[in-house]
Each structure stands twice: as C-alpha cells, then as structure tokens.
Amino acid sequence: MPKATLTRRGRVVAAACVIGGLLALAAGGRALDAVVLPGIVALIAGYVQLARVEDPEVRRVPPPDGFVGERGEVRIELRPSTAGAAGTYLAAVADDTDEGLEGPETPIRASIGEGPVTYRVRYRKRGRRRLGPARVTATDVFGLFDREVVVDDADAVTAYPVCHPIPARFRRELYAADAVGVSRRREEFDRLREYARGDALRDVHWPTTAKRDEIVVKEFAAETRRGRVSIAGETTREREGADALASAAASLALAVLDDGVPVDLTLPAGSVSVRPGPQGRRAVLELAAVTGPGDVAVDDADVAVIADGDGARYRTRGRTVDVDELRASAADGESGGEPAPEAGGTPPEPGVGGR
C-alpha cells in the first residue's frame, strides 16, 4: 500500500507549524495555541484520513469502436475495495491513453464511492488504441497529503479509418449490371430484427420502433445475382501509404457490401470473406484498422488498391483510377445512391452511447 506524502500545501503548513512553534517558544509560548496547534491538528487529521483509505476497485468501460475523427465516452467506475472501509474520499483520476487517442489534459477531480468518472476521447489515428493504466491520487479534505495508486489494467478500442462514398458508376463496373437494381429494390421482405451498428436508417421500421423501447429494422431476403467482388491492396510506405490503403480499401468494400454484394478483402494484415450486413461491415473495418505496409497478390483480384505517400489508386479492368478524383466526383453528387457520411460510411447508432 503506498504511503501518504505531503503535498506542496502540506509542506507549507508543516513549515509554518515549525517556524510558528519556534517563534512561539521564543515569545514565551503565548501564540502557540493560535498558530501552531490548528496546523498540527490538520496535519494529523489528514494523515489519519489517508491511512484509513484502501486502494479503490477500478472498472473501466471503454467507448464503442469508431472512425477517426469521432469521439467516444470512457466511464471509470471507482469504489472502495471494502464496503464502508473509509466512506467516500476525494481523488484525482488520470487515465493514460496512447498517441492515437486525444483525452483530457489534466486529471479529473472525483469523489471515490459516489459514482463513475467519465471523460471523452477523440480517435486521432486508426488501429487498436490503448486506454490505461489509471492513476488514482487520493487526497485528504484539507489537501495536505496525497497517495497515488496505479491500476495497471488496460483496455482497447478500435479506431476505424476514414471512409468515403464511392460513385455508383464505378461500383457497377465491378459486377453484373443488374446487381445494384436487384439489391436496392429488395422486394422480398424477410423479417424484423433489432437495430445493429452499420444498418442503414432507411431500413428502420418506424411503426414497430414506436411501440417498443428499441429500434427495429427490416431485413430483406433479396441478394444480388453477382457472386463476389475481390479487393486486394498493398503499399510499401510505412505510415502515409498504410493509412491511404486502409481508407481506400475500406471505402470500396463497404460501398460494395451496401449494394448487397459479398466481398473478399485481402490486405497486408490478413484477409476476410464477408457477406452484406453489420457483421461483414465490422470485419472489413477491423481488418482495415490494423493493416500496415506490405505486399499481397493483387493481380488476381477484381480491384487492386495501390497506395503510397501520394495517395491511393484503384486498378481494375486494365485501367487505373485515382481515389481522390473518385471521391471528388462522389462529393459532386455522382454517387448514385444514398450518400454515406464523410467520417465513416455508416450512420451513428441512435440512442446508444457505449458498447
């Protein structure tokens, strides 16, 4: 158990007590009660209070995975390890985050035992981002002593790469001409189910949602007549190229999945074979979030994504298209469908603030 140490304020009070005591003794002790005794009492009370404090139990609830640029809320639950050990006490809570997350710059003042501590982080860089360890610095009511406890437990959150809409004219070149029409008509209704992250808002079944306390969406049985679209990407640049590759590959894969077309995605970090739906979207995003530089076999893919420090390019059917130019055409209204949000290609999950 860490020992209580004097704060700067505590050192000032202790010094004042010593000097005051010396001066009081030199003056015959008449000022001893008024100057020194209150300080000594405060020092003793502060030390005893922290001596009775036990290390708190800490449970961190990380924010949901999100796209670069988005924000999430972290909740840290703090409570005494033994019920009624020392009641509530004041503390400063600092939760370390890695360079890919932007969190609070100063510790958060809290009362241990009276509720959770919350703070917001912004996803700065894609990948698996670390939360923790947490440092809890308990202090007495006078601020004369403190005691720091480091909780080594850490959690992780995944930051997805930024995704952009892809024009329909480019998507249609990758599979049968009638594939988009079949998947977008989606005339064969299958069932109702709970909303899952990645579902389009247009699929929400509002009459049923209004009767329940949860969001319900329609699920359709219609599938495209095209089999699959294979996407493979590679880059040799350490950071810029990997980020450009992840964004370009995920953007295209999500757009094709939204059209109802299964996707095979191969990147330096691995490969996934997914079907349309929330699980497929998540698998694509998780792979793109952790991919780094490297080479893969792109010649056999329907679309090869080639990235470097200058950006990324799609190579398909004997021609090469610059990704930035394709995004610009989509921004001009040529996407041919419902536009995807700039940050991540999926609408935020309504009414959900955590995992």
Q: Provide CB contacts within 8 A for 207, sequence distance 6+.
A: none
Percent pLDDT > 70 in the chain is: 80
- The C-alpha atoms of residue 188 and residue 118 are separated, in whole angstroms, by 45
List, in sequence order, every residue forming a beta bridge with 6; answer none if it has no partner: 145
pLDDT for the residue numbered 102: 95
The answer to whether 247 touches 164, Cβ cutoff 8 Å, is yes
What ranges do the domains of the chain cover? 5-51, 56-158, 168-179+227-334, 188-221
Using pLDDT thresholds of 50, 70 and 90, give the confidence band for residue 236. confident
Mind listing the pLDDT tens digit for each residue in 219-235?
765 444 456 899 999 99
Mean pLDDT of 300-314: 91
pLDDT for the residue numbered 82: 60
Using pLDDT thresholds of 50, 70 and 90, give the confidence band for residue 31. low
Architecture per CATH, domain 56-158, reads as Sandwich (2.60)
Mean pLDDT of 298-325: 91
Mean pLDDT of 56-69: 92
- The C-alpha atoms of residue 233 and residue 248 are separated, in whole angstroms, by 9
User: What is the SS3 assignment for the chain?
Assistant: CCCCEECHHHHHHHHHHHHHHHHHHHCCCCCHHHHHHHHHHHHHHHHHHHHCCCCEEEEEECCCCEECCCEEEEEEEEEECCCCCCCCEEEEEEEEECCCEECCCCCEEEEECCCCEEEEEEECCCEEEEEEEEEEEEECCCCCEEEEEEECCCEEEEEECCCCCCCHHHHHCCCCCCHHHHHHHCCCEEEEEECCCCCCHHHECHHHHHHCCCCEEEEECCCCCCCCEEEEEEECCCCHHHHHHHHHHHHHHHHHHHCCCCEEEEECCEEEEECCCHHHHHHHHHHHHHCCCECCCCCCCCEEEEEECCEEEEEECCEEEEHHHHHHHHHHHHCCCCCCCCCCCCCCCCCCCCC
Q: Which residue has the higher pLDDT, 108 or 213?
A: 108
Asked whether the predicted pLDDT for residue 320 surpasses 70, the reply is: yes
Asked whether the predicted pLDDT for residue 184 surpasses 50, the reply is: no
Report how far Cα 315 is from the mean position of its chain's Cα atoms: 32
End-to-end CA distance of the chain: 33
Residue 198's alpha-carbon distances to 13, 102, 261, 345, in angstroms, are 58, 25, 15, 9
Mind listing the pLDDT tens digit for each residue in 245-272?
999 999 999 999 998 899 999 999 999 9
Mind listing the pLDDT tens digit for each residue in 172-183?
888 754 444 444
pLDDT for the residue numbered 75: 95
List, in sequence order, every residue forming a beta bridge with 307; answer none if it has no partner: 235, 312
pLDDT for the residue numbered 225: 45
Nearest alpha carbon to residue 61 among 118, 145, 139:
118
Asked whether the predicted pLDDT for residue 78 surpasses 80, the reply is: yes
pLDDT for the residue numbered 137: 92
pLDDT for the residue numbered 88: 76
Asked whether the predicted pLDDT for residue 6 surpasses 90, the reply is: yes
Asked whether the predicted pLDDT for residue 351 surpasses 90, the reply is: no
Mind listing the pLDDT tens digit for each residue in 106-118?
999 988 878 899 9
